[in-house]
A = this chain, B = another copy of it.
Amino acid sequence: MNIGILGAGQLGRMLALAGYPLGCSFRFFDPTPPSAVSAVAPHMCEHYSNTEALDSFIKGLDAVTYEFENVPVEAAEYVASRVALQPGIEALRVAQDRFAERECFRKLGIPVVDSIELPAVQANESHKGIVSKFGVPCVLKARRLGYDGKGQAVVRSEDKILEALSTLKGQDVIVERLVEFTRELSIIAVRGRSGDPKFYPLIENVHHQGILRTSRCPANRVGESLQQEAEDFATRVLAHFSYVGVLTIELFEVNGKLVANEMAPRVHNSGHFSIEGSETSQFENHIRAVMGMPLGSTRPKGSSLMVNLIGVRPDAKKLLAMPQVHFHWYGKAPREGRKVGHVTAVFKGSEERDSKAQEVLACARGT
């Protein structure tokens, strides 16, 4: 099966590596060179608005998917009118817009953080008034194109409102209550064409400066009801979009209950552990779904710790000398704040994982 992927980052790279054993071929489309996929598959480096290039991209493809939720909807629509695109356009459209995403969650009865909309924000007194009325501490988030903490500003006191507004000047914004969460979790779900979804166990995530640093799966202290709650949320979203593929919902745990933060209509950084830590990885399951194949088991093979490698290349020799460690390098040039690889260590149980975590972290960070 020939599969085209819109976007050409490490998520796409890992999708291709998971799909090759199944006999698939891959081709990527993305305007930014050089890419994390260059070494593993052909990358057509053209603008999304270039329909001639899109025509040539989709020629001979059996299916198209995306690995990046900011693919322009128009380009996705153009592709979808010519070849099967999964997940569908609506999921993409909603996931691109934090406001639409909140509305969608609300409509589906999924708890979200209080928020209001602030269209085309200007750093002036009237906007300051609205934010002030909403109350601090709060977070301003660009409605569109935010990722890895970009397009966000936390406002902790009223006198900082104008300053925060000015960083998002000219963009549509949502103003959101700053949540006092116990921890951040994510649920990764996958749905095939036949509709029967599967779920990975809840993942516990730690972010720093808006960038995911570590994930643990299964998360500690997750009762059946918390897992069930997360699966219920995901089930509603999957059904709503007649979704095919992997869907991720980022969640906050607040007073023992879950609140949805955002969704990603794609494989997700918090699911990288699944390459070695699950019977079937999120990448393989996404490809299986797109191919119309039965989904594989999402059962964990142990207790996994995933550490993102950000901005620097660690000493691979030291890392690989640790028996539980699997090293992933994306072939990108290291620069500050850039995800250039990750490390997954799989242990028999969560106690062993948590006792060895510092050692893995120190080795991954070269400290």
Q: What residues of chain A have their CB less than 8 Å away from a CB belonging to chain B?
A: 13, 17, 20-23, 25-26, 39-41, 275, 279, 288, 293-294, 296-297, 301, 316-317, 320-321, 323-324, 326-331, 341
A320 CB contacts on chain B under 8 angstroms = 288, 293-294, 296
Q: Given known contacts A13-B20, A21-B328, A23-B330, what 13 new A-B pairs fall within 8 Å (CB)? A: A17-B20, A17-B21, A21-B275, A21-B329, A22-B316, A22-B328, A22-B329, A23-B341, A25-B39, A25-B331, A40-B40, A288-B320, A294-B317
A327 CB contacts on chain B under 8 angstroms = 21-22
Provide a sorted-by-A list of 18 A–B residue pairs whose CB atoms are within 8 angstroms.
A17-B17, A20-B39, A20-B40, A21-B275, A22-B327, A23-B316, A23-B329, A23-B341, A25-B331, A40-B40, A279-B323, A293-B316, A293-B320, A294-B317, A296-B320, A297-B323, A297-B324, A301-B301
Q: Which residue of B lies closest to A40 (CB)?
A: B20
A294 CB contacts on chain B under 8 angstroms = 317, 320-321
Contact present for B279 and A296 (CB under 8 Å): no
Which of A21, A275, A324, A326 has the most chain B CB within a 10 Å cutoff? A21
CA distance A98 to B200 in the complex (A): 50
Q: Which residue of B lies closest to A340 (CB)?
A: B23
Contact present for B279 and A293 (CB under 8 Å): no
A17 CB contacts on chain B under 8 angstroms = 17, 20-21
A309 to chain B, nearest CB (A): 11
A142 to chain B, nearest CB (A): 33
Known contacts A301-B301, A320-B288; A331/B296 CB under 8 A: no
CA distance A341 to B321 in the complex (A): 32
Q: Which residue of B lies closest to A318 (CB)?
A: B294
CA distance A324 to B279 in the complex (A): 8
A33 to chain B, nearest CB (A): 16
Which of A25, A41, A316, A341 has the most chain B CB within a 10 Å cutoff? A316
A13 CB contacts on chain B under 8 angstroms = 20
A317 CB contacts on chain B under 8 angstroms = 293-294
* CB-contact partner of A331 in B23, B41, B330, under 8 A: B23
Q: Which residue of B lies closest to A321 (CB)?
A: B294
A288 CB contacts on chain B under 8 angstroms = 320
CA distance A326 to B40 in the complex (A): 21
CA distance A330 to B316 in the complex (A): 30
A237 to chain B, nearest CB (A): 25
A26 CB contacts on chain B under 8 angstroms = 39
A330 CB contacts on chain B under 8 angstroms = 23
* CB-contact partner of A323 in B296, B316, B323, under 8 A: B296
CA distance A328 to B17 in the complex (A): 12
In order of increasing CB-CB distance, the 10 nearest A-B pairs are A23-B329, A294-B321, A25-B39, A21-B328, A294-B320, A297-B323, A293-B320, A20-B40, A23-B331, A17-B20
CA distance A331 to B1 in the complex (A): 10
A60 to chain B, nearest CB (A): 13
Q: Which residue of B lies closest to A13 (CB)?
A: B20
